[in-house]
Structures are given as C-alpha cells and as structure tokens.
C-alpha cells in the first residue's frame, strides 16, 4: 500500500490491512441471493463519514463500528477514489507520528 507500518493479514473472511494492530481496511466476498458481492470496509471521520453513510450505492453502513463505512466493489468502482479513501482510513487509525509521514491529497 505504500503507507508506513502497514501489515496485511488473512482475516476470518477475506483480507485485512492494519497499522499498529488497528484494522483500517477489510475486503471480503459476501454470499447472498444472486451472485457473490465483494465489499470493502474502511474507517472515516468528520463530515466525510456522514456523507458516505448517506450517499447510497456503492456505500453503506455496515451496522458495526461508529466510524466504519462499507463499499461495494464492482465494475463501476472508481479506484482513484478507493485509494483516497484508504489513505484517509489509514490516517483515522494510525498514530499521529505515522500520519505525518503520509502524502495526503489536498483539500479542495
């Protein structure tokens, strides 16, 4: 991922990424009616958290973790957006010392 101190692990389902033992991203496939769906869960904060929780597809509220957001990954996924969301999720979970090392996108 190119972020300081990131570890990738096999999770109870799928894969997860953490910084200092705090998970900031988790990808898994969910079986359900129809075909399986791949989802990503990640962390957010501030105004962005509220926007993502209320945005609708591909975003959803997983039902656990106050600052957790879910995202359906499919053929319409904007991978540049995913990259930005992963950087921000990392920054929510990482110690300030590590966050200071991250090259974050400039705010508009």
pLDDT digits (tens, 9 = 90+) for 49-64: 999 999 999 999 998 8
pLDDT digits (tens, 9 = 90+) for 70-85: 999 999 999 999 999 9
- Is the pLDDT reported for residue 104 higher than 80? no
104 lies in a domain?
A: no
**pLDDT, greater one: 108 or 82:** 82
79 lies in a domain?
A: yes
CB 14, CB 28: distance < 8 Å: yes
66 lies in a domain?
A: yes
Q: Find the helix or strand (DSSP H, E) in which 9 lies.
A: strand 6-10
84 lies in a domain?
A: yes
Question: Which band of pLDDT confidence, cut at 50, 70 and 90, is reported for residue 32?
Answer: confident
pLDDT digits (tens, 9 = 90+) for 4-23: 999 999 998 999 999 999 99
CATH classification at residue 54: 3.90.1150.30
Q: What is the dihedral of CA 85, 69, 41, 108, to 10 degrees?
A: 0
pLDDT of residue 105: 66
Count up the domains in the chain and report the number: 1
């Amino acid at each position: 991922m190119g972020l300081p101190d990131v570890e990738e692990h096999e999770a109870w389902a799928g894969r997860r990424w953490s910084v200092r033992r705090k998970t900031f991203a988790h990808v898994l496939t969910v079986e359900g009616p129809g075909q399986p769906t791949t989802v990503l869960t990640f962390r957010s904060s501030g105004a962005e958290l509220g926007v993502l929780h209320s945005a609708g597809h591909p975003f959803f509220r997983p039902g656990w973790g106050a600052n957790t957001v879910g995202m359906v990954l499919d053929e319409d996924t904007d991978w540049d957006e995913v990259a930005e969301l992963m950087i921000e999720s990392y920054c929510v979970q990482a110690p300030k010392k590590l966050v200071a090392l991250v090259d974050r996108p400039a705010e508009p």
